[in-house]
Amino acid sequence: MTPRLVPGGGAIEMAVAQQLLQKATHGPYRALAHALEIIPRTLAQNCGANTIRTLTALRAKHASHTDATTPCTWGIDGETGELVEQKVKGIWEPLSVKLQTYKTAVETAILLLRIDDIVSGSKKKGDKEPPKPSEMAQQQQE
């Protein structure tokens, strides 16, 4: 068994976020892109780097990457907070762990949205029953 590896240091998260932002036409995809950028942002914060400048520079590196056959491997060095090419530095993460993390995050978000729908759909004691659609139509006609 040969494990598959992906660049670490937030490189993959930023690459996926950039692709989503470029091609997304709907809000949920943009929200996912912004959520993925939390990983490199947290790395920069934990290293004591200037978060805004570091993320802006990292976005620029990923935006200027033109080779569509290989992902951009620029990420954040977890010790210094500097931008480094993860492939050159040798910072790798297992693909299986990344995929499972993403699956768990999406499943959790779906579960929370379902719970929110159930809670917002329930009524409190003493609340009046909302009017039925037929009653609303009669009120509008009058």
| 62 to 11, 15, 22, 88: CA distances (angstroms) | 9, 6, 12, 16
pLDDT in tens, 99-136: 999 999 999 988 888 886 676 666 666 666 666 666 66
Distance (Å, whole) CA 19 – CA 142: 53
- Reported as a pLDDT band with limits 50, 70 and 90, residue 142 is low
User: What CATH class is the domain 1-98?
Assistant: mainly alpha
Locate the domains of the chain by residue range: 1-98
Q: What is the pTM of this model?
A: 0.75
